[in-house]
Amino acid sequence: MGSTLERVAVPALALLASAVLFGLLLAFYAHVDPLEAYGLMYQGAFGSWFSWQNTLTRAAPLILTALCTALPARLGLVIIGNEGALVVGGVAAAAAGVAVSSAPPLVVQLVMALAGMAVGGLWIAFAGALRQWRGVNETISSLLLTYIAIALMNHFVEGPLRDPASLNKPSTYPIGDANMIGTIPGTDVHWGLVFGIVACLVVWLFQRFTTFGFAMQVIGGNPKTARMMGLDVGRYVLLACGAGGAAAGLAGMVEVAAIQGRANASLAVGYGYTGILVSFLARHNPVAIVPVAILLGGIGASGGLLQRRLDLPDAAVVVVQGILFVAILASETLYGRLWKPKEAA
């Protein structure tokens, strides 16, 4: 186990290296002063109450989708189908919401959340089951499932679930204003943020203080040992993948019930992919996911400002994320090498 200092210093180094690399790209390709760009990014992300609210609103789905990678990662699985689980969860939530839209709002919201979580959970559990019982690589299958999810969404919003009134942007029927989940009092940030933080805390407590969580750690450490101990590995794989998928499905429900009011192509805007990055940056630690998601939500929120003020392409944000991702992964190699371990006297 690395020291606490190391756990802060290594990611900080990676962050610094990414900032320098992106700065070079800005200076030499885009001819933009990197310091000005970083200043603007700070402003756009955390510079004012308004930008903070924007950042937190974007962080909410990131927290939830990150759990979709983080939970199975505990078992040593690399799931990257977060976007797909979010999309099917969102469509299922919208369909369920429209079906029961005349019920009291709280019931509608509950039904939507359950539908989104159930479908998202099954979606990722399927990838886990394929891994466990067919030996299919879960990374590739979960990403393929994402493409299938997006195709299914297009099919449903253009066909069976389409609201004929939505002309330019095919969508499902709206769930109704009364059924939208509101904002946290005193802010413009919707309740999805709270859902995410609570989910992370619950997962953390589970992993930390239950035998179930300990068993997951054993399986992640060495599946053979776990099997010899008599652990039913398959059950844990299904549950971890299902719970992760449910979190991403809930993210889809939140996007529908708090922002869009209906399901359409706006569901697939990349929260799922960024969620993978969040999980890796947080080293799959549920508590670390919250601040990392806020940081990346901030980078996302600053994209608009960069585009308006410096005329940078909107993909600038993706480049930052990509550099950061690769740098953080490469920095894994530094653990235990920055400081020589003390000689045993």
Partner 1 sequence: MDDTSLGLWGVPLAMLAGAIRVSTPFIFVSVGECLTERSGRINLGLEGTLVMGAMSGYGVALASGSPWLGVLVAGGVGLLFGALHAAICQLPRVNDIATGIGMMLFGTGLAFFLGKPYIQPKAPNLGAIDLGWWSSIPQVRQALQVNYLFVIGVVLAFAMAWALKNTRWGLIVRLAGESVDAALAIGASVARTRLIATSIGGAFAGVGGAFLSLYYPGSWNEGLSSGQGLMAVALVIFARWDPVRCLWASLLFGAAGAISPALQSVGVTQGYYLFSAAPYVLTLALMIATCSPERSLRGAPGELGAVR
Considering only residues 80 through 99, tell me which ones interact with partner 1, judged by CB under 8 A. 80
| CA nearest to 73, candidates 84, 82, 62 | 82
189 sits in the region (left: phi over 0; alpha: psi -120 to 50; else beta) called beta
- How far is CA 216 from each of CA 203, 238, 241, 329, rounded to the nearest angstrom? 12, 12, 12, 23
How far is the C-alpha of 210 from the C-alpha of 75, rounded, in Å? 15
Binding segment toward partner 1, per CB under 8 A, in 141-149, 189-197, 200-208, 295-303: 141-149
Binding segment toward partner 1, per CB under 8 A, in 52-60, 99-107, 188-196, 306-314: 306-314
CB of 20 to partner 1, least distance (A): 15
Binding segment toward partner 1, per CB under 8 A, in 147-155, 212-220, 240-248, 291-299: 147-155
Closest CB to partner 1 among 206 and 335?
Answer: 335
Binder to partner 1 among 48, 102, 137, 222 (CB under 8 A)? 137
x-marked contacts with partner 1 along 258-277 as a string, rule CB under 8 A = ---------------x--xx
Closest CB to partner 1 among 152 and 184?
Answer: 152
Binding segment toward partner 1, per CB under 8 A, in 110-118, 242-250, 286-294, 325-333: 325-333
Contact positions vs partner 1 (CB under 8 A): 25, 29, 78, 80, 130, 132-137, 139-141, 143-145, 147-148, 151-152, 154-155, 158-159, 273, 276-277, 280, 312-323, 325-326, 328-330, 332-333, 335
